Structure 1
Amino acid sequence: MRFASKQQEPEVQPMNIPQATSERFQFKPIDQSLLKELNAQERQVIINKGTERAYTGEYTDNKEVGTYYCRQCGSPLYASDDKFESNCGWPSFDEELPFAVERHPDADGSRTEIVCATCNGHLGHVFLGERLTEKNTRHCVNSISMTFKEGPPQARAVFAGGCFWGVEHLFESIDGVYEATSGYTGGKVENPTYEDVLSKKSGHLEAVEILYDPTVVSYEELAKYFFEIHDPTQT
């Protein structure tokens, strides 16, 4: 996605948006072109649902403060505050970031698999009732399914629509949004100009990239807000 230079905009007052709920919208699977190319070991675990050997993972004993992201698609999964020592041989967390992880019964019905909610990449399994923490939940996660970065969680969303300056301007007023950047997406012309996009021959649409903290505002809330402030047919 190519982004245009940002212009100076007048200040606006922060806008209130609804709080997160447990309900989720249904989305199409992530575009395969956005996924990281995996090596053989990563594919064995993330795609083929394998398990790395206990006590061999990079993050089993990691105590740094930051965020754990999906290795395949880069979506934030866990905060270091929710990591704990379980002595099981794999990184353990007693809570995921909002809407980051989905649970599915294993084929044999004996365990519950956890996968990245964005790309469906295999993470590990979740266990309940062990009383290891007050939340009574243990996400047993393969280190190879994750990457770690210092700092609070940062997720990315892209919304396409006409008049991207106006959309950018409004998104920047939302609590939890780090940055909104206008640009173009969807076409095949490399490095398009604004005139290329206006001509409708480049295949690109005006769009806004949102970098946000998913612990403060969810993707569902951002999507709902986008359709409240913008007519998507006006592209």
Structure 2
Amino acid sequence: MAASTLERWRPVIQEFKDWAKDSNLAKVTKKQVIDWKNALLQQVRIGRDVRRRAPRTVKDVHPAALKAACQIDEDKLAVNPVAGVVVRNVETERDDDEKGFSDKHARTILAATLQKGSRLLSGEMTAASRWIPWIRAYTGARVNEITSLLPSDIVTVQGVLCFSLPKERGKGKRKRIVPIHSHLIEQGLLAYVEERKKLRKPLFYDRRDHAAGRERTLTTRKSVSD
């Protein structure tokens, strides 16, 4: 499983263990799983607020995580107790219910990138605000795929300039090669890439600078406290 999936599901398994007061999966029964599912769908107290978990949230996260845990080694379980457990009343999303930017929203965001940024922003943040929305619009890449790019990730494939998106940050953990749209080139992206290349820095975020800044902050705080 992907690390992000494990991180999301681990507390769900722990939640079930706490609820069942047992950590032996071999003792889990289908009735227990159904009772747990029904308990999840009831009202829950979060601080001072009382809320209800959405059926879709329960369906996509809780039984799914437990079912996967029970499938890790089928030789140790006679039967998967989560198999066949259904969460009902999950509304099917319609096209007009899907979340996303409208064309108007997209134009507003992209137009804002062409405005002069605040003098309070660092050079890297200004560049990120200028280029990342456009790169996302033309590649569909995730923010963390783009922010981790190095100048060396701009490659030429069969005569076409492309982004080589790192597999560590992408969905499915696979490296992707995506052509650079001509409009990005027209806007001067390659000049910015060349500038960062000469500085021997990543395109948008230099972790060395961040670490040095954090160290300076901690040193300053320590001096003040002393």
Q: TM-score, normalised by structure 2?
A: 0.23
**Greater relative contact order (Cα < 8 A, sep 6+):** 1
Between structures 1 and 2, the one with greater strand share: 1
